[in-house]
Structure 1
Amino acid sequence: MAGRKDDSLQSISVQLDGKNYSYWTYVMKNFLRRKSMWGYVTGVCVKPADIKAADYAKSLDTWEADNAKIITWINNSVTHSIGAQLAKYETAKQVWDHLSKLYTQSNFAKQYQLEADIRALRQRDMDIQDFYSAMSKLWDQLALTESSELQAFSAYVTHREEKRLVQFLMALRDDFEGLRGTILHHSPLPSVDLVVHELLAEEIRWSLHSL
């Protein structure tokens, strides 16, 4: 840890807003593991307490510097209103535990909310790429609620991909009705990525015809 460059102002690409806790924890956990600092959050790396140890002062400085760095990273990746709640905590573990207690829901509650958000999402005035990105974000968060055993079950993964395709096609604007009907009659059904590729090509054709 000694000699480590000062990257305390670095932050992850996801900002916790209270609604995306599952995805935020996934990204932040991997970020901290990459920095070899996940143990500070889990409580494995505890604050040095043996004042008689020969390297006590150095170990304490290292621990306090890393602890402060993690708290800074977390503050840089949450909204201001959430960050304001964290000032009363002194350790990264306390901060993490507070956020977990505040935003962790049961898997069923999270699944219910995400399923509802997916059903409510419509393309409307979004282009295909933006719409696909919005839908993918919800799918990814929903996947985080699945057990590793379920994700390893090939029949379930196939069913999930077919379900995603139906959700995506149902939410498209009526402009794509012709292409949607053609896709639904494919056997076997194409992947969502392949469908997005076709829709992007169709979008380009429309833009060229409108010139």
Structure 2
Amino acid sequence: MNYEEWACGMKTALCSRKKFGFLDGSIARPADGSSDLEDWWTIQALLISWIRMTIDPVLRSNISHRDVAKDLWDHLKKRFSVTNGPRIQQLKAELASCKQRGLTIESYYGKLNRIWDSIAHHRPLRVCKCGKCDCNLNALQEQDREEDKVHDFLSGLDEVFNTVKSTLVSRMPIQPLEEVYNILRQEEDLRNNVKKEDNVADITAYAVHQRGRVSSSVRVDDGTAVCKHYHRSGHSSDSCFAVVGYPEWWGDHRRSRMVQGRGRGNYSGGSSGGRGRNMTYANVVHVPQMPPPERASYVITDKDRDGVSGLDDKQWERLMKLLNAGGTAGASSSHEKVSGPCFEDDDWCG
């Protein structure tokens, strides 16, 4: 039930219009025949309308009609207000079990404020009525209640605020509740900003990792795309392995295609532009133009190694044998190019 909260808000609204005296009896009914009686009944109808419009429709239908606003006000208090003893015990239990539990500082502080206001309504501070006290007891009582609120607020915080909580509790005197609330709000904002930055960094790293995996191991063929490198359809230049580099698994696949091509007699060596791992390709070697009669006697030596890079001595020796063997057979073009298919030996292909 939220009767205390509703009654407090209703009292504040009527006091602002100087109408609450009709509810507490301070403004009495004029005598019969008075010129003010008609205005008094008009105000009564207005107050009853305001009160009924603020009540939930489900409860409104169960409330009997009253012609006088004070009668309706007293009826609602008797029906929905809980006596002080059980209500105070209920509020104390709610205060003891009120914890943050993942809520924002603002939401958690709002829950506590509603409980504190209800307790203050049922158990207000005592006021000296003799007029002989000069010790400022009311101010001291208010200060004690303020410190109790600070301890209630800090005790229900989540464990992530333990460091700040211990710092605030150890200060003497205890800081006011509003300052403690502002400090914790700033700490919460700082933690949220750091958490957002960490999340953005994790998402960026994951995206880069996934992009690397997709670009290096996935090849999507498209029948409408045309590769400008090979001048063939089936994939685009952006996904061509000869342009972007060969993945790790491409070594065995390429070797099997080379063997099949040799069997058909139409295999052509791949381009050296690929950057595949565990594979070695011979760079393009230009054989100087020689006159036809002397072509058969030209021999590739170590002096011609300047045109080749990335080969060790053993690989260069094998390449010279291959070129010299091909040179003795003659060629129709003035420049011979060796695109360098992978040799079948493991020390060549890697």
The structural deviation recorded for 1:95 is 1.0
For these two proteins, the number of residue pairs brought into alignment is 188
Distance 1:109 1:119 in 2: 16
Check if 1:28 corresponds to 2:10.
yes
Distance 1:44 1:150 in 2: 22
Distance 1:47 1:158 in 2: 42
Check if 1:163 corresponds to 2:129.
no
State the partner residue of 1:134.
111
The structural deviation recorded for 1:99 is 0.8
Amino acid aligned to 2:17: K
Partner of residue 201 from structure 1, selected from 177, 186, 202: 186
Structure 2 residues without counterparts, runs of 5 or longer: 129-136, 198-350
For residues 27-48 of structure 1, give each alpha carbon's deviation from its aligned partner in whole angstroms, at most 9, with x where no partner exists. 3223222222223223454556
Aligned-residue RMSD, C-alpha = 2.4
SS of the residue aligned with 1:190? coil
For residues 27-71 of structure 1, give each alpha carbon's deviation from its aligned partner in whole angstroms, at most 9, with x where no partner exists. 3223222222223223454556625x5x47xx42x2333212111
Structure 2 CA distance for partners of 1:185 and 1:47, relative to 1, 3 Å: closer
Matches within 5 A, 1:140-151: 140-149=117-126
For residues 128-186 of structure 1, give each alpha carbon's deviation from its aligned partner in whole angstroms, at most 9, with x where no partner exists. 11111111111112112233425963332222222211111111111111111111211
Matches within 5 A, 1:71-150: 71-149=48-126
User: Structure with the greater relative contact order (CA < 8 A, sep ≥ 6): 1 or 2?
Assistant: 1
Identity value in percent = 25
Task: State whether residues 125 and 141 of structure 2, in contact with CA within 8 Å, keep that contact through their aligned partners in structure 1.
Answer: no
Distance 1:192 1:48 in 2: 48
Rg bigger for which structure?
2
For residues 75-98 of structure 1, give each alpha carbon's deviation from its aligned partner in whole angstroms, at most 9, with x where no partner exists. 222222322232432221221011
State the partner residue of 1:50.
32
Amino acid aligned to 1:81: V
Distance 2:109 2:82 in 1: 26
SS of the residue aligned with 1:147? coil
Structure 1 residues without counterparts, runs of 5 or longer: 1-18
The structural deviation recorded for 1:127 is 0.7
SS of the residue aligned with 1:90? coil
Task: State whether residues 40 and 93 of structure 1, in contact with CA within 8 Å, keep that contact through their aligned partners in structure 2.
Answer: yes
Amino acid aligned to 1:75: R
